[in-house]
Amino acid sequence: MRLRDFFKPRAGTDQWETLKARAGIALQNGDPEKALLLYDELIAQRDNDAEAYYKRGNALGQLHRWDLALASYDKAIALNPEYSNAFCNRGTMLERLRRWDEALASFDRAVELNPADYLAYYNRGTVLKEIKRFEEALVTYERAIELKHDYVEAHVNRGNVFQELERHEEAVASYDRAIDYLPIHPEAFEGRGASLLKLRRFESAIASYDRAISLNPNHRFTLGMRRYAKMQVCEWDDLESDSIRLVEALLADRAVCPPFPALSLVDSAALQRKAAQIFVREECPPDSSLPAIPMRRRGEKLRIGYFSADFRNHPVSLLSAELFETHDRSKFEVSAFAFGPETNDPMRSRLERTFDNFVDVRKKSDAEVALLARELKIDIAVDLGGFTEHSRTKIFALRAAPIQLSYLGYLGTMGAPYMDYLVADSTIVPVSEQQHYAEKIIYLPCYQVNDSRRQIADVTFTREELGIPPSVFVFSCFNSNYKITPGVFSVWMRILQRVEASVLFLYADNDVAAGNLIREARLCGIDSRRIIFGGRIPQPDYLARFRTMDLFLDTLPYNAGTTASDALWAGLPVLTCIGKTFAGRVAASLLNAIDLPELVTSSAAEYEELAVEMAANPDRLAQIKQKLARNRLMTPLFNTVDFTKNLEIAYEKIYERYIAGLPPATIYPDSRSVA
């Protein structure tokens, strides 16, 4: 202690208590700066008062000065080792600093000292949820609710954990309980809407999102999710006004729409990047809580880590399974980090046998997964999911590997500074459009990998079996219903009007969507019997069903991806209109890769005319089908061996740049590399 402090006269009790009261009032009135000054003065006069340090920590916490708040709570605890509130708030600061294990230990001590502290239990549950210990989080939230039955936030977060566990009925019940106690809680209605959407109770989900928006028109991401839910059932009544609101909000830098729905709702590469950047800022910003990865000498093999929730019977694996099998094991060691739903399907078994290391990391925290990847010395981490369902972007925010790239599952930029590369081709991302992508582009001859070993059922569906009249031209689209827009549907209806002996065969995602599409067809003057719906069937049969169709009609602004290559693999020509975004240019990429550029149009009018012409000219259609059959195994689209070689060349190039201390740069499959 300095001499002048030692001889400083101490304030009288009354004066000190008055100062303490003033500090408390400032803190209570939302003036943490003033409160901090007063608590500093209190501590200068009496540096052995645990409560003063505790409340000083509260003021610093309100000012988002987490490290200093933590130090203040530590001082309070040093003065009073049984100060349960200080342990609780200390845990919150550690949580803010992403020091999860220490935070959990602090909350454990808080509830040990005060078993009736429902807030400490609630905070403990939040940490457990963050580190993926979901079952323990449930128990902890339930304990908080036992202590305080009307604890709305605990009911909401309990619902969020049920969501993580895919227990959506229980999630809805938990949100409903929160709403019973507080009917004006937008987060409860938003969470309820998300679970109802997963349960495919679309109309109830929309109503829940509506209520959330009525309570808070700017509630994070809810407007975009409501519109996405409406697109699932082809409800288009207020699509134009919603689109205007989404664009205005994105331009204003507001969190209005998650990135994945934005791919189908916002027809602008620049705005899709904006949506991704906002989401990264809000949900998964760069996280420096792990140490930097030190530069290491190159090993005998490059170690590639593929991260996915979809190592199962899912489009991502249906496309990429042969890629994993084809990797040159003399040069590459290939690991899978699986964090999706547990399945026992044949694809999962196939992939478990394929990888050099197949690691189930579902129950590991993001930090634990990133550390495991580092321990395995992964050189290049490949995110196969991006912002799709069950994604774990925070793993990459922590840096799982020195080089990180996005591929296949998410059709757009991730807008994240920690994603170094994005795999594409020159059709999907023209050089003139690179400014709309946060990553550097790896240009391959063909963007999409395919499994050339996929089996098509040895069955021929009759038209009668599919409900199709004889002697008609069959237009078809097997894209998900949310990709169908009023503009696309009106073009389809004009095509049916012009080709009288024709029908449109669509994938029926749900009965509500089917009903809405039938209604829209009638409004366009089309007999509802000309719209035929087919449901989900096993993959080999699904591929065989394409052979009964005459022409696949693509959607815009979100093209067919896997569905387009499915159709082409089965021998069905795909007609597309090239769009403005990654997701809107995928089908054109596939058609160019199989040397059928004549099926790529550049406007709705050209698309309509070509569809009508193909239906009216069976000889031309037959020639295209013959060309497709010839090209099927002679062009890049289904040549998995060549695709793998090109991707491996790209992996070598990006790693060479890294070892040389060079920043990521545009990569081409030939010898070119442009910074």
The side-by-side arrangement of strands in the sheet containing 302-308 is 357-360, 332-338, 302-308, 380-383, 403-406, 421-424, 440-443, 666-667, 673-674
pLDDT for res 669: 72
10 Å Cβ neighbour count for 29?
10
Between CA 438 and CA 639 the distance in angstroms is 29
Q: Are residues 395 and 514 in the same domain?
A: no
Q: Are residues 238 and 354 in the same domain?
A: no
Please indicate, yes or no, if residue 645 is contained in any of the structural domains.
no
Q: How far is CA 331 from CA 24, 323, 508, in A?
A: 65, 14, 45
Between CA 497 and CA 520 the distance in angstroms is 14
The stretch 49-60 carries a mean pLDDT of 95
Between CA 155 and CA 174 the distance in angstroms is 5
Residue 627, Cβ density class (10 Å: 0-12 exposed, 13-18 middle, ≥19 buried): middle
Query: What average pLDDT is seen over the chain?
Result: 95
Q: What is the DSSP string of 415-471?
A: --TT--EEEE-TTTS-GGGGGG-SSEEEE-SSS----TTPPPPS----HHHHTPPTT
Residue 35 makes CB contacts below 8 A (sequence gap 6+) with 23, 24, 26, 27, 55, 58, 59
The stretch 616-638 carries a mean pLDDT of 97
Q: What amino acid occupies position 231?
A: M
Residue 4 has pLDDT above 70, yes or no: no
Please indicate, yes or no, if residue 671 is contained in any of the structural domains.
no
Asked if residues 156 and 184 have their Cβ atoms less than 8 Å apart, the reply is no
Instruction: Provide the CATH number for the domain around residue 509.
Output: 3.40.50.2000
Q: Are residues 232 and 113 in the same domain?
A: no
Please indicate, yes or no, if residue 665 is contained in any of the structural domains.
no
Q: How far is CA 395 from CA 294, 336, 364, 437, 640, in A?
A: 18, 14, 11, 21, 29
pLDDT for res 5: 35
Q: Are residues 336 and 275 in the same domain?
A: no
The stretch 174-192 carries a mean pLDDT of 98
Q: Encoding tokens for residue 532?
A: 């035929």
Q: Are residues 162 and 66 in the same domain?
A: yes
Between CA 149 and CA 145 the distance in angstroms is 5
pLDDT for res 16: 76
In 384-479, where do the E strands start and end? 403-406, 421-424, 440-443, 473-477
**pLDDT tier, 7 (very low <50, low <70, confident <90, very high otherwise):** very low
pLDDT for res 527: 97
Q: Encoding tokens for residue 45?
A: 């006069």
Q: Is the peptide bond preceding residue 285 cis, with omega within 30 degrees of 0?
A: no
Between CA 463 and CA 311 the distance in angstroms is 34
Q: Are residues 57 and 97 in the same domain?
A: yes
Q: How far is CA 142 from CA 149, 274, 377, in A?
A: 9, 38, 40
Q: What is the DSSP letter of 265?
A: H
Please indicate, yes or no, if residue 191 is contained in any of the structural domains.
yes
Q: What is the pLDDT of residues 224-269, one digit of tens each?
A: 999 999 999 999 999 999 999 999 999 999 999 999 999 999 999 9
Residue 288 has pLDDT above 50, yes or no: yes
pLDDT for res 23: 86
Q: Are residues 310 and 437 in the same domain?
A: yes
Residue 358: strand, helix, or coil: strand
pLDDT for res 670: 67
Residue 263: strand, helix, or coil: helix
How many residues in the chain? 675
**pLDDT tier, 342 (very low <50, low <70, confident <90, very high otherwise):** confident
pLDDT for res 671: 56
pLDDT for res 234: 97
pLDDT for res 673: 52
pLDDT for res 479: 97
Q: In degrees, to the nearest 5, what angle opens at C-alpha 75 toward C-alphas 69 and 77?
A: 105
Between CA 72 and CA 352 the distance in angstroms is 50
Between CA 572 and CA 247 the distance in angstroms is 36
Between CA 158 and CA 413 the distance in angstroms is 32
Q: Can you say whether the dihedral through the CA atoms of 591, 597, 598, 601 is positive or negative?
A: positive
Rg of the chain's alpha carbons, rounded to an integer? 29
Q: Are residues 173 and 46 in the same domain?
A: yes
Q: Are residues 352 and 468 in the same domain?
A: no
The stretch 392-400 carries a mean pLDDT of 98
Q: Provide the CA 147 distance to its chain's centre, in angstroms.
A: 35
The stretch 544-568 carries a mean pLDDT of 98
Residue 1 has pLDDT above 70, yes or no: no
Rounded (10°) CA dihedral 252, 280, 187, 172: 140
Q: Are residues 196 and 309 in the same domain?
A: no
Helix (H) or strand (E) holding 205: helix 202-215
The stretch 538-548 carries a mean pLDDT of 96
Q: What is the DSSP letter of 22?
A: H
The stretch 572-582 carries a mean pLDDT of 98
pLDDT for res 13: 63
The stretch 90-106 carries a mean pLDDT of 96
pLDDT for res 20: 85
The percent of residues in the chain predicted with pLDDT above 90, rounded, is: 93
**pLDDT tier, 127 (very low <50, low <70, confident <90, very high otherwise):** very high
Between CA 270 and CA 660 the distance in angstroms is 32
The stretch 84-102 carries a mean pLDDT of 96
Asked if residues 335 and 372 have their Cβ atoms less than 8 Å apart, the reply is no
The stretch 492-512 carries a mean pLDDT of 96
Short-list 295, 276, 283, CA closest to 401: 295
Range of the domain at 372: 302-443
Asked if residues 246 and 257 have their Cβ atoms less than 8 Å apart, the reply is yes
**pLDDT tier, 14 (very low <50, low <70, confident <90, very high otherwise):** confident
Q: What is the DSSP letter of 398?
A: T
Between CA 378 and CA 402 the distance in angstroms is 8
Between CA 636 and CA 177 the distance in angstroms is 55
pLDDT for res 365: 95
pLDDT for res 12: 55
Q: What is the pLDDT of residues 433-473, one digit of tens each?
A: 999 999 999 999 999 999 999 999 999 999 999 999 999 99
Please name the residue that has the structure tokens 């700017």.
218
Short-list 506, 498, 483, CA closest to 552: 506
Choose one of 236, 257, 284: the last residue of a domain.
284
Residue 381: strand, helix, or coil: strand
Residue 213 has pLDDT above 90, yes or no: yes
pLDDT for res 19: 87
pLDDT for res 38: 92
Please indicate, yes or no, if residue 673 is contained in any of the structural domains.
no
Q: How far is CA 10 from CA 2, 49, 262, in A?
A: 15, 13, 63
Residue 502 has pLDDT above 80, yes or no: yes
Residue 239 makes CB contacts below 8 A (sequence gap 6+) with 227, 230, 485, 486
Please indicate, yes or no, if residue 293 is contained in any of the structural domains.
no
pTM above 0.85, yes or no: yes
Domain count, the chain: 4
Choose one of 174, 192, 222: the last residue of a domain.
222
Q: Encoding tokens for residue 234?
A: 């082809």
Asked if residues 339 and 307 have their Cβ atoms less than 8 Å apart, the reply is yes
Between CA 213 and CA 225 the distance in angstroms is 11
Please indicate, yes or no, if residue 666 is contained in any of the structural domains.
no
Choose one of 379, 411, 443: the last residue of a domain.
443
For the ranges 71-85, 169-183, 370-384, 657-671, the lowest mean pLDDT is seen at 657-671
Please indicate, yes or no, if residue 656 is contained in any of the structural domains.
no
Q: What amino acid occupies position 296?
A: R
pLDDT for res 9: 38
Between CA 650 and CA 595 the distance in angstroms is 23
The stretch 638-643 carries a mean pLDDT of 97
The stretch 472-498 carries a mean pLDDT of 98
Instruction: Provide the CATH number for the domain around residue 36.
Output: 1.25.40.10
The stretch 134-159 carries a mean pLDDT of 98
Q: Are residues 193 and 128 in the same domain?
A: yes
Q: Encoding tokens for residue 367?
A: 């930090």
pLDDT for res 18: 87
pLDDT for res 381: 99
Q: Are residues 534 and 632 in the same domain?
A: yes
